[in-house]
Copies of this chain bind each other. A is one copy, B any other.
Amino acid sequence: VRYELYYWPTIQGRGEFIRLAFEEAGVPYVDVAREKGADVLTKVLKGSLGGTRPFAPPVLKSGKMVVAQTSAILHWVGPKLGLAPKNDAGRFAVHQHQLTIMDLAAEAHDTHHPISTSLYYEDQKPESKKRSARFVSDRVPKFLGYFEEVLGTRKFLVGSSITYADTSMFQIIEGLRYAFPKAMKRFEKKIPRLLGLHERVVTRPGIAKYLASERRIAMNEDDLFRRYPELDV
Contact = CB atoms under 8 A, between A and B. Distances in A.
Interface of A: 51-55, 64-65, 67-69, 71-72, 75-76, 88-89, 92-93, 95-97, 99-100, 103, 106, 110, 114-119, 124, 127, 130-131, 134-135, 138-139, 143, 146, 149-150, 158
A52 B158 contact: yes
Given A89-B64, A93-B52, A127-B127, A99 B72 contact: yes
Contacts of A143: 55
Nearest to A106: B106
A22 to B, nearest CB: 18
Contacts of A118: 134, 138-139
Contact of A72 (B76, B92, B117): B92
B93 A51 contact: yes
A124 B55 CA distance: 30
A114 B97 CA distance: 24
Given A51-B89, A75-B75, 8 more contacts: A52-B150, A55-B100, A67-B92, A71-B99, A72-B96, A72-B99, A115-B130, A116-B134
B115 A95 contact: no
A69 B96 contact: yes
13 contacts: A52-B97, A52-B158, A53-B146, A55-B146, A65-B92, A68-B96, A69-B96, A71-B71, A76-B88, A114-B114, A116-B134, A118-B139, A127-B127
